[in-house]
Structure 1
């Protein structure tokens, strides 16, 4: 099969889709990619012979430059003779399905990494994205979701030829070794932390969606409950200056560390005692899955995606969104119950196995095999 992978930006392909594309190539398919090349295409894909078609997709559905992107996409589909188009990210996927609505011989697969409308989302998001997704589902042969809420919505409300739920894009468990006490303490010495620090870690962009404000506010209470507590916020984003000001206001400069963009996230997770998340919107969060792979207990917001990964009381705690007092309470429960942390560690490691990249690739193999049988 001649398959075109489409994403709004190349970053999505580089971060999540390299194993998927190389798997198809290994199986004898020809794969090309179309995207806005904001980052150089992963060298593994280039070495595998993947052809790259730069198309200037824009993230905003209201950006007029998407009109030219749509024209470029139509030219590519006219010339490329693709059998299947597998599309990712909302804007590019909307344009792909519009372009393919009259190309009935071309099968369209759409992976929704997380609908922009969800329980608790703004009315604007529902009015903007829901009608588009509902309408374009009619031109979707296979709609692939990654969490239970999106799957239920797609099955009940949309008209795709088939709806399938998979365990995300897959986590490379080989990158994350199970935390041991010896390695944890070695890394603490290397990074300048104390053996008896109680360290929380959250790897996410510093923005309103990830909502680190609630964690910083929770730390103001936690410093009274837990001696030597630390919160490591890994990432960059537009809220960094505001978070620094809040940390200073609450006099938490010694307890809350803004770590910036890091390439050593696995090591920083290895030295932690627990992982946290305050996000108000997720598809299926990679940071939570990575923490599970290491064996960290979790205290996370009860948003879509987090609920698929964390079972309250089993491998972590789910916390009502925007409640710093409840975050402090659940984190303190972990601190004062080391046996619970041990049991949650075991549960996280067991539960993450379903999300391993090899398992997800096998799920995708079955989807593609079913599509092939329809040819």
Structure 2
């Protein structure tokens, strides 16, 4: 039995899907992965649960001619390896993976696509609807199972032609890792060069247009920033642009760019408010992690965030480009007595359903439903 995971970049798989690869290995699958590598991930020889990897130069932009080459590479791989299941992730991984697997589906290969947030959604530019919607609707006919993780995407898929559709509570995350982590807050702040009395605002996410960190920088500039530090954990193409924006607002000494971190849970525990201004998400894990860590959240009222960020109950919501609203919300959490405690208490109740155990259970059931013959022996052993 063989399964292939396809994504734009390896980092997507290492960041979000290792528990699933571990389970598939335990079921007797040979696990292969395909995507574009980068310097931020470990060598695949050091990654458990992966038997074979293919470095394919998939580009995020649908206009890149490099994706034609990537498609041909991927088509050759799937036809040579003859997978039982091809599971596609990320937009271009989903496009190329499904196109490359069309022939194999006639031979019994099952094709699964997990939509981690369509590029077309409420509030998205019209061009996104004109480009991405027709492509996703067309490719749904080459999809045995399409998985969504927020209500808006689930509603859209009702018009698609995939054989089956399931909605799951995201890809899951380890609630206990963030809820129960113990950290010496004073020592952690010292490591990050933050004073004990400073008020720490934090965001986690790639430095891209979609993550919208510029709105938070502008919001910080509207506050009395003499004792505020803003931490951004992430890396990406907009790093220079964001640093220039900090210079323009005289915030270079107040904004800390930490790139990728493996101690996000400890940094969250050492922060005062989490701001998540994304333009859109599938079902955003970063906000859930902050809530599990007990950090009050200010977030955008967009798909994939508003599924668990309920305004004035579990978070404070703003239009993502409204830096005035973001500034007011940060100020409220800092100064309004009892607000932070009320938000964090409600948030911790709301996030339990997104724990990895629930997501894993639902994903296992989907695999068994889509290819029961592959799991028949294991089901019998379980009985």
| Alignment partner of 2:126 out of 123, 127, 147 | 123
Alignment-derived partner of residue 137 in structure 1: 140
- Which of 170, 173, 192 matches 2:172? 170
Query: Are the structure 2 counterparts of residues 314 and 44 from structure 1 closer, same or farther at C-alpha, using a change threshold of 3 Å?
Result: farther
Contact 1:187 1:270 in 2 (8 A): no
Kindly state the Cα deviation for residue 132 of structure 1 after the two structures are TM-superposed: 0.7
**Residue 20 of structure 1, CA deviation:** 0.8
- Which residue in 2 is equivalent to 1:312? 311
Deviation, structure 1 residue 72: 2.5
Structure 1 CA distance for aligned equivalents of residues 348 and 70 of structure 2: 43
Question: Partners of 1:68 and 1:238 in 2: how far apart?
Answer: 23
User: Residue in 2 aligned with 1:354?
Assistant: 353
Tell whether the 8 Å contact from 2:21 to 2:50 is kept in structure 1 after alignment. no
Mapped to 1, the partners of 2:50 and 2:205 lie a distance apart of 33
- Name the structure 2 match of 1:84: 85
Instruction: Assess if the C-alpha contact under 8 Å between 1:275 and 1:299 holds in 2.
Output: yes
- RMSD between aligned alpha carbons? 2.4
CA distance 1:277–1:35, shift in 2 (3 Å): same
Asked whether the equivalents of residues 6 and 93 of structure 1 are also in contact (C-alpha less than 8 Å), the reply is: yes
Unpaired segments of 5 or more residues in structure 2? 375-383
Output one character per residue of 1:284-303: Cα deviation in whole Å (capped at 9) or x when no partner.
Answer: 22221221121111001112
Cα distance 1:78–1:136, how it changes in 2: closer, same or farther (>3 A)? same
Please list the CA deviations of residues 126-182 of structure 1 after superposition, one character each: whole Å capped at 9, or x if unmatched: 222111100110111110112111111112x211111111122221334324477x8
Distance 1:252 1:79, change over 3 A: closer
CA distance in 2: counterparts of 1:77 and 1:246, whole angstroms: 45
Corresponding residue number in structure 2 for 1:12: 12
- Aligned residue in 1 for 2:210: 209
Which residue matches 2:223? 222
Q: Distance in 1 between matches of 2:121 and 2:233?
A: 26
Q: State the alpha-carbon separation in 1 of the partners of residues 228 and 37 from structure 2.
A: 41
1:257-315 deviation per Cα after TM superposition (whole angstroms, max 9, x unaligned):
33344443222211111100122122222221221121111001112111112111112
Q: Mean Cα displacement is larger for which, 350-359 or 319-328? A: 350-359
Counterpart of 2:258 in 1: which secondary structure?
strand
What TM-score, normalized to structure 1? Answer: 0.90
Count residues with an aligned counterpart.
370
Q: CA deviation at 1:114?
A: 1.1
Question: Is the 2:88–2:112 contact (alpha carbons within 8 Å) kept by the matching residues of 1?
Answer: yes
Structure 1 residue 119, shift from structure 2 partner: 1.2
Unaligned stretches of 5+ residues in structure 1: none
Counterparts in 2 of 1:39-54, with a 5 A limit?
Answer: 39-43=41-45, 45=47, 47-48=48-49, 50-54=51-55
Contact 2:44 2:53 in 1 (8 A): no
My pick for the range that moved more, 203-212 or 170-179, is: 170-179
* d(CA) in 1 for partners of 2:209, 2:63: 21
Q: 1:33 to 1:187 in 2, by over 3 A?
A: closer
Say which SS state the counterpart of residue 326 (structure 2) adopts.
Answer: helix
Whole-angstrom CA distance in 2 between matches of 1:245 and 1:77: 44
- SS of 1:119's partner is coil
The corresponding residue for 1:35 is: 35
Distance (whole Å) between structure 1 residues aligned to residue 227 and residue 49 of structure 2: 49
Contact 1:273 1:297 survives alignment (8 Å): yes
- Partners in 1 of 2:181 and 2:269 — Cα distance? 6
